[in-house]
Amino acid sequence: MYFTTQGVIKQEKTLYLYVKYDIISRVENGDNMNKRFITFEGGEGTGKTTLIEKLMVDLKDAGFDAIKTREPGGSKISEQIRNVILNVENTEMEYMTEALLYAASRCQHLEEVIKPALNAGKVVICDRYIDSSLAYQGVARNLGIDKVYKINDYAISGFYPDLTIYIDVDPEIGLARIKQNHRDMDRLDLEKIAFHNKVRSGYLEVAKMFPDRIKVIDGNDTIDNIYKKIKEIVFDSIK
Ligand code: TYD
């Protein structure tokens, strides 16, 4: 993607800025004192839902007050925005409109659900957050990570997760799992395999930008093995 020497320098400078912003925003939020905002990321059919369910049971068994929520959605207004974004009939939607709607839904969800729960001392497990926008809209939709990052950083006022679990699965395997489970395909599931491959490479690029925050987990393993790794990382971060 970056062929010229100038391009490489620009990319390195951008990476440096991302890492700097990430650290500054987390320190400003005071989140480094209490690592309780945890997000899950991944392409289609990565098993996120099952893994989050398992984690919720173990967190509660260990005495943590934990809530699970999801994006797009998670609150009344955000769910309404979700319906507009994922409606299979909305084929004429501009990619920028899509990106702005995800960011708007995120802002509402953050202020209405995530921050109050964190302030009440809860662990918040969120299925997708800003990194979904960076991978899907930034890379797969070609809007550019920089642009989508700016929109979202504005929408969330620099409020980043303390820990992000990215489950990395080959899209061919992920989509086959969805079909096997007979789940209905939404507007984004229906994209061609090339789109999902771009989503995956987007996530891997984003994971390199935020190496301290994002942990990449190999999702091509059995669900039990994947879960063991995740549980260890999560419990280690909130202890
Ligand atoms: P959902 O049914 O929640 O998918 P999953 O079970 O895979 O999490 O649908 C959410 C879809 O929206 C999914 O295809 C990913 C996409 N998405 C984005 O493109 N950008 C975003 O910022 C978010 C949060 C989701």
For atom 19 of ligand 1, the residue with the nearest CA is: 136
Q: Is the CB of 102 under 6 A from ligand 1?
A: yes
Across the chain, mean pLDDT equals: 88
Does this model's pTM top 0.85? My answer is yes
Res. 193: pLDDT tops 50: yes
pLDDT at 12: 53
Q: Is the CB of 136 under 6 A from ligand 1?
A: yes
For atom 4 of ligand 1, the residue with the nearest CA is: 44
pLDDT in tens, 128-175: 999 999 999 999 999 999 999 999 999 999 999 999 999 999 999 998
Calculate how far, in angstroms, residue 191's C-alpha sits from the geometric centre of ligand 1: 12
For atom 17 of ligand 1, the residue with the nearest CA is: 132
Q: How confident is the model at residue 25 (pLDDT cuts 50, 70, 90)?
A: low
User: Of 13-17, 171-175, 190-194, 206-210, where does mean pLDDT reach its minimum?
Assistant: 13-17
Q: Which atom of ligand 1 is nearest to the CA of 85?
A: 12
Q: Which atom of ligand 1 is nearest to the CA of 71?
A: 24
* C-alpha span between 167 and 90 (Å, rounded): 29
Q: Is the CB of 128 under 6 A from ligand 1?
A: yes
pLDDT at 149: 98
Q: Is the CB of 69 under 6 A from ligand 1?
A: no
* C-alpha span between 41 and 121 (Å, rounded): 23
Q: How confident is the model at residue 22 (pLDDT cuts 50, 70, 90)?
A: low
Q: How far is CA 156 from the centre of its chain?
A: 13
Q: 217 pairs with which residues across the strands?
A: 167
Calculate how far, in angstroms, residue 208's C-alpha sits from the geometric centre of ligand 1: 21
Residue 185: both structure tokens together: 């395909």
Q: Is the CB of 149 under 6 A from ligand 1?
A: no
Calculate how far, in angstroms, residue 43's C-alpha sits from the geometric centre of ligand 1: 8
Alpha-carbon Rg for the chain in angstroms:
17
Q: Which segments within the chain are labelled E, that is strand?
A: 37-42, 66-70, 123-127, 163-168, 214-218
The full set of domains in the chain, from first to last, is 47-238 (3.40.50.300)
* C-alpha span between 35 and 212 (Å, rounded): 13
Q: How confident is the model at residue 181 (pLDDT cuts 50, 70, 90)?
A: confident
pLDDT in tens, 29-73: 544 446 799 999 999 889 999 999 999 999 999 999 999 999 999
Q: Is the CB of 196 under 6 A from ligand 1?
A: no
Cα four-point dihedral sign 16, 18, 19, 25: positive
